[in-house]
C-alpha cells in the first residue's frame, strides 16, 4: 500500500524521441537528487520514502516509453550501441 498520493499524469510529449530524451534527463536528475539526499545526514531518514515516491512516479511516467527504453538499453544495433557509448562518455 502506498503512503502517498501519486502525481497526476502529464500530457503526452510531441514525439517519442522527445519523450526518451526527457526520460533520460529526469532519471539522471533524480539519481543525483537521491544521491544528495542519501549523503546528507539530515535528510537520510526520508531517503526510502522519497525513493518509493520516485519509483512510483517514474513507473507511471515511463510506461508509454517502456519498449523504446528497453530497446535503447539492450539493443545490439550498431547505431544504438554507438549512442550508448557516446552517452557514457559524456560528463
Q: Read off the pLDDT of residues 3-30 as tens digits, 9 standing for 90 and up.
A: 666 666 656 555 657 777 777 888 888 8
pLDDT (0 to 100) of residue 1: 46
C-alpha to C-alpha distances, 75 to 2, 18, 69, 80, 84, nearest whole angstrom: 34, 19, 10, 7, 10
18-27, 41-50, 51-60, 78-87: range with highest mean pLDDT: 41-50
Q: Above 90 in pLDDT, residue 41?
A: yes
Q: Is 7 exposed, middle or buried (0-12, 13-18, 19+ CB in 10 A)?
A: exposed
Q: Domains of the chain: which residue ranges?
A: 16-89
Q: Is 20 exposed, middle or buried (0-12, 13-18, 19+ CB in 10 A)?
A: middle
Distance separating alpha carbons of residues 84 and 42, to the nearest angstrom: 36
Show the cell assigned to 37.
539526499
Torsion sign across C-alpha atoms 50, 51, 56, 57: positive
Amino acid at each position: 500500500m502506498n503512503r502517498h498520493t501519486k502525481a497526476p499524469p502529464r500530457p503526452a510529449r510531441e514525439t517519442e524521441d522527445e519523450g526518451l530524451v526527457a526520460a533520460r534527463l529526469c532519471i539522471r536528475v533524480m539519481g543525483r537528487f537521491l544521491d544528495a539526499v542519501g549523503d546528507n545526514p539530515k535528510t537520510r531518514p526520508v531517503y526510502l520514502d522519497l525513493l518509493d515516491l520516485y519509483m512510483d512516479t517514474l513507473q507511471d511516467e515511463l510506461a508509454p516509453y517502456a519498449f523504446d527504453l528497453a530497446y535503447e538499453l539492450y539493443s545490439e544495433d550498431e547505431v544504438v550501441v554507438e549512442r550508448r557509448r557516446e552517452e557514457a562518455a559524456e560528463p
